[in-house]
Structure 1
Amino acid sequence: MGTDQVRQIVEALGTGTMNVIGAVVFVLATIVFVMELAGYRPYLRRPFVRRHTTRWDAMALVKVAITAALFGAGLAIFAGVVFVPGVAYLRPAQAFTTVFGILFGLPGALGAGLGNFIGDIFAGTLTLGSIAGFIGNFMSAYVPYRIVHAARQADLSAARDFVRYVWAVIAGAFVIAFYIPWWLAVLGIIPSEVAWTAVFGNIWLNGLVTPLILGTILLRVLFPYVQRWNMYWADSERADPALRSDGRARRGAGDTRPVATGEEA
């Protein structure tokens, strides 16, 4: 699906419909963002709200810094390829948000938000839109992390793991593609028509193409090293053994069958 096809879909739905969808996504994503920073996590089954187990220790800060530095640098390097001045440009580095969200969990999501902020500063594109950029990119990492939430899924060793990864990419791209344009349109930073026909399509395609192509490669390459260095998110939290890198080993040396996961997004 190219830019023209996305524009045709937006024009068929109308800016009113896009604004309604964007408002719903914005409110829900912002609530989740605030909850996570406050130490709580939403779930799809009872209890619907629980305290999460992320520890903001030195290792967590290292993960935030790695993600922010790589994503911010990647955005700054490609900032010259502009579609809408100060708003939309080519973003190969968008793959980092998905990959480090899955690998590092909440620290990776926070690093993605900070990285976008850093990229805007160095590219000279820091505006009120950067607020939505911060939370939107946080969510573009957070959503895949909540979908691909176990080590046995993150290694992409099975076809069903790759299908789950594709679904995670689509969901993450959906959230950020609606979150940022709605903010830009409501504040009048750019005209509503431009927000939905140009910026939406650009963010949607960047959020899909680079994570599906570059992100798949990065995840396959980086996961074994992250696992070896005990940097996988579940290895440093009080997580169900089924989610950890050593989840299979805990079944016994002779039993390598996957352990049933106990977490639900």
Structure 2
Amino acid sequence: MTTSLFGRKWTTVDFVLIVVTAALYAVALITLAQIKIIPQVPIRPANALQPVFGILFGIPGCLGLGFGNLVSDLLQGSAAPHILITGFVSNFLGGFIGFLAVSHPGLKTVRSYIQYYLFVVLFASAVVACAILVNVGLGFTPMEVASMFIPVVFLNQAIATGILGPILLKLLYPFVRRTGLYRGRAVSTPYGRGYGS
């Protein structure tokens, strides 16, 4: 499944993908950060890029998400070390869970849709939202703050990934595959496992 991806030799393209996805994610986070329905609570539609970059670009995409969030936090003044570390890890996991769980990157099967909504929209959103509990455990964040923060982050994550994620995957997967940039899971085809259609 993923062993060939973890074991394969990285090329210059992989490192370029880290830089490009990090830059795109950071720009999206910064430029879309002011979208709010509830006062003081950003919607973060850029979170939809987490499963997209993870599923399409594999580990390079996941690393790009972590570094992109790091850049965004630094530029927006959230420079406390525990926030930077938790943000990097939670954004990496937001892409990595989709990379591991979704069997077809173009969501062309019922199975891949179920995997996407179960593991990306529900499970990954919960993981990202609950990452703040690490800071609670380390004594950096009061539990009262975390208990208010977790539901908001979960909803932001689930809404963005649930609505925008599938649209972006369906639009981008054919292009990414044609250009040879696909670094996700091998896709099951009638002819065996490959990077098929």
The aligned counterpart of 1:161 is 112
Deviation at 1:176, TM superposition (A): 1.4
Greater gyration radius: 1
Question: What is residue 176 of structure 1 aligned with on the other side?
Answer: 128
Greater RCO (Cα-Cα under 8 Å, separation 6 or more): 2
CA distance in 2, matches of 1:182, 1:92: 23
Is the CA contact 2:5–2:183 (under 8 Å) kept in the aligned structure 1?
Answer: no
In structure 1, the residue corresponding to 2:171 is in which secondary structure? helix
The unaligned stretches of length 5 or more in structure 1 are 1-42, 44-48, 249-256
Distance 1:81 1:124, change over 3 A: farther
1:213 matched to 2:163? The reply is yes
Equivalent in 44, 56, 77 of residue 31 of structure 2: 77
Hey, what's the Cα distance between the residues in 1 that align with 2:107 and 2:178?
A: 16
Matched position secondary structure for 1:70 = helix
Q: 1:70 to 1:208 in 2, by over 3 A?
A: same
Contact 1:68 1:116 in 2 (8 A): yes
Q: Separation in 2 of the partners of 1:183 and 1:60? A: 30
Native 8 Å contact 2:70 2:88 kept in 1: yes
2:137 maps to which of 174, 186, 208: 186
Give the percent of matched residue pairs that are identical in Structure 1 and Structure 2.
31
SS at match of 2:7: coil
What does residue 40 of structure 1 align with?
none
Equivalent position of 2:98 in the other structure: 144
State the Cα distance separating 1:174 from its structure 2 match.
Answer: 2.0
* 1:227-238 correspondence runs (5 A): 227-234=177-184
Q: Secondary structure at the match of 1:52?
A: helix
Cα RMSD (Å): 2.8
Matched-pair contact (CA < 8 Å) for 2:43–2:156: yes
**Could you tell me which residue of structure 2 aligns to residue 125 of structure 1?**
78
1:222 corresponds, among 162, 166, 172, to 172
Q: Deviations over 1:61-109 (max 9, x none)?
A: 1211222111111111133357797xx6321100111101000111111
What count of residue pairs does the alignment treat as equivalent?
191
* Structure 1 CA distance for aligned equivalents of residues 66 and 87 of structure 2: 7
Pick closer, same or farther for the CA change 1:163–1:184 going to 2, 3 Å: same
TM-score (norm 2): 0.85
Deviating more after overlay: 53-62 vs 224-233: 53-62
Q: Using a 3 Å threshold, how does the CA distance of structure 1 residues 190 and 89 change in structure 2: closer, same or farther?
A: farther
**Cα deviation 1:131-157 (Å, max 9, x = unaligned):** 1110111111101100114xxx11112
